Amino acid sequence: MAGWKIFLHSVFLLNRNFNTALRVFSPLIALSVCVTLLWTGGMMVGVEGASLGWLGFLLALSLLEVFVAIWVAVAWHRYVLLEEETGLIPVFNGKRIREYFGASILVGLTILGAVFLFFLPGFALATVVGVLFGLEGEGSVFNLLLGVIGFVFAGWVFSRLSPLFPAVALGEKATLKGAWKATSGVSVSVLAILPLFYLFNYGLVALVGAAVLPFNTLVGDLVIAIVNCACAMVSISILTSIYGVVVEGREV
């Protein structure tokens, strides 16, 4: 299955279920708007000289954003894959949210370990070459190239492990090995999803920013916050689509 088909299906999935998607993702949208108003509205002026109280507040705010993102992700996975209906706000499933958070940490650590093992020797070689032969410029370019490759590699590993997230949301048995095995048939196709998503994400944000920000900073920032929520919705929908294709054998 081509990666671009999965990407397009994920976008159209949100479009076909637009009203439900708004209800499911409403807590994330509301929180993003509130945080934007806090920053742009000047209520956080002077944070660069923040006290421990401010730092604690910012940490709590970041954790709240993670919690809300996981809450709506679980609800969207369950709505699409189980047809679990939702009310004005998404269904709250505490157990699934906790397990989803644990899966996020597990996948994150796995990706960090994989990138470290595969690319640390390359960065070390680039540094040695630069020092021994006075090729710091070339060494820096090499480091930059390795960084790009490492970013793509990390995205690919994440895509390969992504079925773990919907599985956890559904309450199914989920392991890293099982997720990796499930995506073995689309291991090359999922590479296309990463550039498509980032082109969609940054292209849309840049376009909206260029169109709105010059006229009103607050309105522009609010619109960009909503656009970022839309991109987050697409990314969660992509995870759902990948699971539907590779685990449940659905057509896209």
Per residue of the chain (252 residues), give pLDDT as tens.
577 888 888 999 999 999 999 999 999 999 998 888 877 655 555 555 456 666 777 788 889 999 999 999 999 999 999 999 888 899 999 999 999 999 999 999 999 999 888 777 766 766 666 666 655 554 456 667 777 888 888 889 999 999 999 999 999 988 999 999 999 888 888 878 877 888 888 888 778 777 776 776 777 788 888 888 998 999 999 999 999 999 998 887
List CB contacts of 32: < 8 A, sequence separation 6 or more.
Answer: 225, 226, 228, 229
Cα dist from 243 to 43, 100, 169, 204, whole Å: 41, 15, 11, 26
Rounded distance between C-alpha atoms, residue 177 and residue 53, angstroms: 42
CB within 8 Å of 154: residues ≥ 6 apart: 111, 114, 115
Give the model's pLDDT for residue 107.
96
**Structural domain boundaries in the chain:** 3-246
Q: How far is CA 157 from CA 26, 120, 181, in A?
A: 30, 17, 12
- Only one residue has tokens 């895509």, namely 159
> What's residue 134's pLDDT?
56
- What does the pLDDT read at residue 163? 95
